[in-house]
Amino acid sequence: MLKKLLLLVVLASFALPVFAVEPSEMLDDPVLEARAREVSKGLRCLVCQNENIDDSNAKLAHDLRVLVRDRIVAGDTNEQAEAYIVDRYGEFVLLKPPFNFRNAFLWFTGPVLLLLGGWAALVFIRRRAQAGKPVEGLSEEEQQRLAALLKE
């Protein structure tokens, strides 16, 4: 009995995002509601940050869902409704922001840092490999003395 109850709780926890959009928010017209859902799927919850507003239970996500629906009922296209939200909250509200000059730094920073890190690691490994080789130009006695010092 306890296992069944635990399984039920676990399965119910997976269904929580489904209940984020409250019935009172939904539009009567299924076509408009589908458009609102489509717009909402591309908008980030500003509280949760990695969830779209349809999946979030945050109060701000609720307000954004209502705002999107208000804009669609007012006659806005999906793009106009999204642009209205972006104008108010900035491009951060988009889950997939467009590539443009203003955010090019953010798009290129990750790959550039990855390349710089790889280059630094390569230089470090090469220098470390060079350090283990005997120094040329030393006499046999000097090389033996250097080897003895390195063993200590």
CA distance 21 to 63: 11
Task: Please write the tens of the pLDDT for every residue from 71-130.
Answer: 999 999 999 999 999 999 888 888 888 888 877 888 889 999 999 999 999 999 988 887
Contact yes or no for 53/61 (Cβ under 8 A)? yes
**Residues 25, 30, 34, 39, Cα dihedral to 10°:** -50
Phi, psi of 52 (to 5 degrees): -80, 165
Percent of the chain at pLDDT > 90 equals 29
Report pLDDT for 10: 65
CA distance 90 to 85: 8
In whole angstroms, how far apart are CA 82 and each of 93, 111, 142?
A: 10, 29, 74
Give the total residue count for the chain. 152
**Beta-ladder partners of 43:** 94
Q: What is the mean pLDDT of the chain?
A: 83
